[in-house]
Chain A
């Protein structure tokens, strides 16, 4: 969770520019002559990392439900992972900054609760990236297939919860390493 410090109220680990400042000082894309295609917008979104698990992108995570043009306003529909996940507001901020950098001026970020987010929407690429990052990807069976480090199938659960709302703590009985498992919901 990001904790603002008294010296820099918006500081966060990633070297992202501060909103407000980016508008005034950073070079911006020129105003767009016409609406970029939805494909282009999806490609931009797929380059935005998840703020807490930067190994995967927002599209890998499957939380972008829709992208559409309403006249000259770009409407991006986002579904939260967990209702209390503190990353949700950072995600909205990251999306807004990235799209504004690409020259999008009229932007509407919509929250969609139903159908609720499920790990079924995570892309195969996302699952592979998670595993190589050391996080066992979600499985309908309710537990990791194997240890993301040594691939042993001798694994045991330490706790149903972990360092973020979306993860649980497991341990490998062979290499003895603890690891995160991305909960299946």
Chain B
């Protein structure tokens, strides 16, 4: 795999959208009510659309003849660069929406910062995506508040989801060599600078949802570097990549 930091960075953006998009699409046909089913499918569609833009550009930057489809379907788990949060299983509907909220809040901050990127193509993709993600965050934060401050049962489930997923939040703000190279080139922000705004927004939302943020900020890591994905991603890829694994290069 290429070690060009810009390629790595674009894979991170694309893989976050791809893996979460696929996870959310797993709800298609099985969500609690029809409206939520449609909403989840629509959000998955937005994320897959964004994936095509990011991974399409990654393929061009790499210059090795791989397009978005090749990158999505012909890489194995160790080549994926998504954060651990997005590959976590759906759990119940509340857990899915908590994962969505924790990601959306970071995603929108990241995309908003990327609109000022020195790379005009990255800025254009970010500007387009930010509009869609603004809408996602509006919905996921409303749902987290509605369920957190809902019935005793929904509150219990949302608190359990938060406790389960919080250790995956920190990775989004941990920088490494790729991030440093992107920052030096004016392409992307230092991940750490997004943390204060995130904590503010998440804190306000969780307070409105009557949920308690875990005190321990321990963070699992290894997703965005690809060094150590959780066991869940490989299982997900066997489903997502099934057709291309069984019939390589099959097309419509």
- The CA-CA distance from A116 to B39 in the complex, in Å, is 22
- The CA-CA distance from A185 to B135 in the complex, in Å, is 9
Q: Decide: A113 near B127, CB < 8 A? Known: A159-B35, A159-B39, A161-B38.
A: yes
A84 touches B38 (CB 8 A): no
Interface class of chain A by DSSP = loop
- Does chain A have a CB within 8 A of B45? yes
A82 touches B132 (CB 8 A): yes
B36, B42, B127 pick with most chain A CB within 10 angstroms: B42
Which chain A residues numbered 150 to 180 have a C-beta less than 8 Å away from chain B? Answer: 158-163, 165, 169
Of the candidates B46, B125, B129, B138, the one whose C-beta lies within 8 Å of that of A160 is: B138
- The CA-CA distance from A84 to B131 in the complex, in Å, is 13
* Nearest CB of B to A4, in Å: 6
- Does chain B have a CB within 8 A of A9? yes
- Report chain B residues within 8 Å CB of A162: 38, 42
A84 touches B39 (CB 8 A): no
Which chain A residues numbered 110 to 138 have a C-beta less than 8 Å away from chain B? Answer: 113-116
* Nearest CB of B to A93, in Å: 14
Q: Decide: A84 near B35, CB < 8 A? Known: A9-B252, A116-B127, A185-B131.
A: no
A113 touches B125 (CB 8 A): yes
Which chain A residues numbered 42 to 92 have a C-beta less than 8 Å away from chain B? Answer: 80, 82-86
- Report chain B residues within 8 Å CB of A114: 120, 123-124, 127-128
B38 touches A82 (CB 8 A): no
- The CA-CA distance from A158 to B52 in the complex, in Å, is 30
- Does chain A have a CB within 8 A of B43? yes
* Nearest CB of A to B127, in Å: 5
- The CA-CA distance from A114 to B124 in the complex, in Å, is 5
Interface 1/0 per residue, B36-75 and A, CB below 8 Å:
1011011101111110110000000000000000000000
28 contacts between A and B (CB under 8 A): A80-B128, A82-B45, A82-B46, A82-B132, A83-B46, A83-B52, A83-B53, A83-B128, A83-B129, A84-B47, A84-B52, A113-B53, A113-B128, A115-B127, A116-B128, A116-B131, A159-B36, A159-B38, A160-B138, A161-B39, A161-B42, A161-B43, A162-B38, A162-B42, A163-B38, A165-B42, A165-B46, A169-B35
Residues of B at under 8 Å CB distance from A? 35-36, 38-39, 41-43, 45-50, 52-53, 120, 123-125, 127-129, 131-132, 135, 138-139, 252
List the 4 closest A-B pairs by CB distance, nearest first.
A84-B49, A83-B49, A114-B124, A159-B35
